[in-house]
A and B are shown apart, each in its own frame.
Chain A
């Protein structure tokens, strides 16, 4: 395609591409090829489909569109067939012949491939009717199903880059900032800082060139919202950054993607190349004065690189260690230049604001937290996946309404929200709205969007220990309160988890936690104590059980439980014997087996594999 050099040319191209979008195809099969569905083998499904269509002589009449992540990963590989908005899930390559023969050729529905709603037990044939999707407002994520991320044509056909054209042709840079200000956009990476203020500070700062950074280092375990946006719709982020460049006067941009997202790196790089080819990156974009270059930088495996000053250090080729922030990075950031760093989702919201206007953006959400937010709902809940809802939605609605409630018949106890910097919100507080401010009072924070649902089978002391273990490795180790504080907290929580805890140690955890939150150098250290402090605040009874009774109520802490085989229930099938990683189980066939308590490491595998519920934990 030739370079586009005016907004009119872009509009014309869009019209042409839209008309040609489905060609002569009588049917379009949309197949999700995000990392999650790829893990469930969606690429072999695609290959099998193509082969079948060839064989049936339908290859020229049916279009296969591979898209990025739809966010419903547990049901993958996902397939949508038009016409009819038919939704198939958990498709295997072996299903391909039947799909071609019955659905494509005859228009028949294959019942066993339909989605079954775990709450109602009903089968749902159409994507739009699936309760998980229907209860959401998929303003950002919704586009993923319509776009092949490796083809800029798809993005342009659906109106992509129109917001950029409008901003360049009709809005002065300050007007763009004012629009973002009026929309009330707040950073989606966890900080919730008003985006317009950051942009203004960079615009007003002295120094050149001005730099934009997209923070795609999404390191919170259990969060993959950014992965889906980048893999599935990279152009949305590119367009957002271009609009930002116009507003701020920036000429250089970086998208810093963590090492663990190779598919996102691939798709963003390809998208940048295609945008450049079309003239949307480089000099004199769409006939304006805007000159902007964009590059992808890869992370190398460090959670702390998600901290803004650490990320900038990594971009400079150094270790990603945070720096003291007595001068804002908006004034002196990357290489001491004025820098605006925003999260992936924040950038993706920008074209939306220009397109719909600030009022349009404020249609959803609350006055102080406008817009939608994508959450990664995972853990012990029926419907796991990416959930996009208006900010201010009560937690209960997300967990029960969209998530479908408890997965395993055990009661839901808490939601861990905000990753290692966040906290555990108990069930009693589930009526709290999820937004930037309401959770802070509860001692937690919304964070970047990770939400892990925990039921009675999770031990909150163990959860605290898990996060401390994580932070011990991921802390850069520079400052005393974080490095030594996390180390000592882990020491204390381990004592508690293994039955050596004392009541004084509970007070110590609170005192040390407060010190860490005020004395640490960066956000990682300042929030490192939050998982411990929130679990102590809301699940003190569990801590007390560990300390006073030397008992783990959830039956998780390996030092406080032991596993025994109930002789009456054991059939001597030997499955546990073969599964034990320590070879701690002995027994003859058809005779009750025995666990050697000296060798047993309390991993719980025997209990998991036993089909007769013969393993008891106490």
Chain B
């Protein structure tokens, strides 16, 4: 399954080594991580040495070599958010989820990440959950956000989904 999906991503990019980062970004978006098989296929199709592909996959922060959780919670650690207490958000998130930043919960539900500045500095502290931005966060709001996401999961998906 992975092989055919990767082939689709690589279509039209044969022998184009400078497409490597774009390909990996598409792969990351599609699989939510970079499967090793996909990386090897990319090396061969694009004409890039395997060590180079491995290097690029490890260098950039948006790439993950292990599967990410269903929900990605990102805490902004920019300077403006820092002076407004971003570290406290990380403390709360780590305590609530039981993992350190950069890790994924055992049940595969949450991945916690720190990011250096999303550009919403006036709204700090900012966290992003599954692509949605939440500004003016505080510990209570963050706890609620995590709890709401957990209960929505338990209810089987979207809170307002109908059977």
Contact = CB atoms under 8 A, between A and B. Distances in A.
B123 A302 contact: no
B83 A454 contact: yes
A609 interface: yes
A343 interface: no
Interface string A303-333: 1000000000011111110000000000000
A138 to B, nearest CB: 16
Interface stretch (A114-122, A216-224, A491-499, A510-518): A216-224
Nearest to B48: A317
A3 to B, nearest CB: 26
B59 to A, nearest CB: 4
Given A35-B118, A579-B139, A604-B85, A317 B21 contact: yes
Interface in B65-116: 77-85, 87-88, 91-92, 94-96, 115-116
A207 interface: no
B35 interface: no
Contacts of B18: 315-317
Interface stretch (B3-11, B130-138, B151-159): B130-138
Given A260-B115, A297-B22, A609-B139, A452 B48 contact: no
Contacts of B41: none
Interface string A465-477: 0100010001000
B39 interface: no
Given A39-B135, A260-B115, A300-B24, A419 B123 contact: no
A385 interface: yes
Contact of A452 (B19, B79, B133, B134): B79
Nearest to A334: B18
B94 A581 contact: yes
A261 B119 contact: yes
Interface string B128-149: 0000011100111000000000
A608 B139 contact: yes
Interface string B9-20: 000000001111
A28 interface: no
Interface string B42-55: 00001010001001
B140 A320 contact: no
Interface in A208-250: 218-224, 227
Contacts of A603: 87-88, 91
Given A221-B78, A222-B78, A300-B25, A318 B56 contact: yes
B8 to A, nearest CB: 19
Contacts of B138: 608-609
Interface residues of A, number: 59
Interface in A445-485: 450, 452, 454, 457-458, 466, 470, 474
B57 to A, nearest CB: 10
Contacts of A39: 120, 123, 126, 133-135
Given A73-B123, A224-B121, A317 B94 contact: no
Contacts of B62: 259, 300-301
Contact of B91 (A314, A458, A601): A601
Given A219-B116, A220-B117, A419-B79, A604 B88 contact: yes
A218 B118 CA distance: 10
Contacts of A315: 18
A218 B119 contact: yes
Interface stretch (A101-109, A360-368, A372-380): A372-380
Given A219-B117, A380-B83, A36 B92 contact: no
A355 interface: no
A40 B123 contact: yes
Given A379-B83, A609-B140, A298 B135 contact: no
A174 interface: no
A419 B80 CA distance: 11
A73 B94 CA distance: 28
Contacts of A40: 123, 135
A367 B85 CA distance: 41
Contacts of B123: 36, 39-40, 73-74, 76
Given A35-B133, A221-B79, A317-B48, A300 B21 contact: yes
A474 to B, nearest CB: 7
B80 A222 contact: yes
A586 interface: no
A384 interface: yes
Nearest to B93: A581
15 contacts: A74-B123, A221-B79, A222-B80, A259-B62, A301-B63, A317-B46, A376-B121, A378-B122, A384-B80, A452-B83, A454-B83, A474-B116, A579-B140, A581-B95, A608-B138
Interface of A: 35-36, 38-40, 72-74, 76, 218-224, 227, 259-261, 297-303, 314-320, 376, 378-380, 384-385, 416, 419, 450, 452, 454, 457-458, 466, 470, 474, 579, 581-582, 601, 603-605, 608-609
Given A38-B133, A379-B80, A609-B138, 12 more contacts: A40-B135, A74-B122, A222-B79, A222-B121, A223-B121, A259-B60, A297-B22, A301-B61, A301-B63, A320-B60, A378-B122, A378-B124
Interface of B: 17-22, 24-25, 46, 48, 52, 55-56, 59-63, 77-85, 87-88, 91-92, 94-96, 115-124, 126, 133-135, 138-140
